[in-house]
């Protein structure tokens, strides 16, 4: 504001001071980001990543169903599963699709030596959430043995999913001990 109201050496000095502060802050942010990236890369140096589609599941051309990160812990990311079986057939009705989703997750977990006990996070996307969430909760509960170690969970109502006829999609994150 001073530079707009006044002109001359004082105004130029104030503009330079503001520019210098911006440059200093930008440099500090850049240095912090580079240092953080270096720390993250160093922490991941011993980690290996495996991407695959387990037998018993479809093999989509644009993504993998399972990504496993093996390091101090194994973190397994399971892509959003729908009510589709290994042959690409869509289950009929919401409950049947919810069961197929959980069976697909079970197959993915078994492929990395895990179970539902290893899941730490579920993200669920439901068409017509008001009608389908109670059904989904019942199906989901039947796959988790202990009620004291349930995963963090988010359910979102959506108007539609990637393909017509899909009524539910669930993605999961599991943490397992490192491979020996």
Q: Could you report the per-residue pLDDT of 5-63, keeping only the tens digit for each?
A: 455 665 555 455 444 545 544 444 444 444 444 444 444 556 788 888 999 998 888 78
Is the per-residue pLDDT at 163 higher than 80? yes
The pLDDT value recorded for residue 25 is 44
Question: pLDDT of 75-111, one tens digit each?
Answer: 999 999 999 999 999 999 999 999 999 999 999 999 9
- Token duo for residue 100: 């197929």
Contact status, residue 95 vs residue 128, Cβ threshold 8 Å: no
User: CB within 8 A of 92, min separation 6: which ones?
Assistant: none
Distance from chain centroid for Cα 73: 17
Q: Which residues contact 47 (CB under 8 A, 6 or more apart)?
A: 69, 70, 71
Quick one: pLDDT at residue 63?
81
Q: Residue 68: is its pLDDT beyond 70? A: yes
Q: What is the CATH number of domain 48-176?
A: 3.30.1330.40
Residue in this structure with the two tokens 């093999």, named with its chain if needed: 59
pTM check: above 0.75: no
Q: How far is CA 23 from CA 19, 34, 35, 37, 128, in A?
A: 6, 16, 18, 21, 51
Domain ranges of the chain: 2-44, 48-176
Pairing state between β 152-158 and 119-127:
parallel
Taking the alpha carbons of 81, 56, 64, 161 in that order, is the dihedral positive or negative?
A: negative
Compute how many other C-beta atoms are within 10 angstroms of the C-beta atom of residue 32.
Answer: 10
């Amino acid at each position: 504001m001073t530079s707009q109201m006044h002109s001359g050496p004082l105004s130029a000095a104030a503009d330079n001071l503001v520019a210098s502060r911006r440059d200093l802050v930008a440099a500090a942010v850049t240095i912090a980001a580079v240092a953080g990236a270096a720390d993250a890369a160093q922490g991941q140096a011993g980690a290996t990543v495996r991407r695959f589609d387990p037998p018993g599941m479809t093999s989509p051309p644009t993504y993998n169903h399972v990504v496993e990160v093996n390091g101090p812990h194994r973190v397994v990311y399971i892509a959003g599963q729908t009510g589709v079986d290994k042959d690409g057939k869509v289950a009929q009705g919401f409950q049947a699709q919810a069961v197929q989703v959980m069976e697909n997750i079970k197959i993915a977990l078994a492929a990395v030596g895990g179970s539902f006990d290893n899941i730490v996070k579920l993200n669920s996307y439901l068409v017509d959430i008001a009608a389908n969430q109670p059904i989904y909760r019942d199906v989901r509960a039947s796959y988790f043995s202990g009620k004291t170690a349930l995963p963090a969970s988010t359910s979102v109502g959506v108007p539609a999913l990637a393909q017509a006829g899909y009524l539910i999609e669930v993605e999961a994150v599991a943490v397992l001990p490192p491979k020996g």
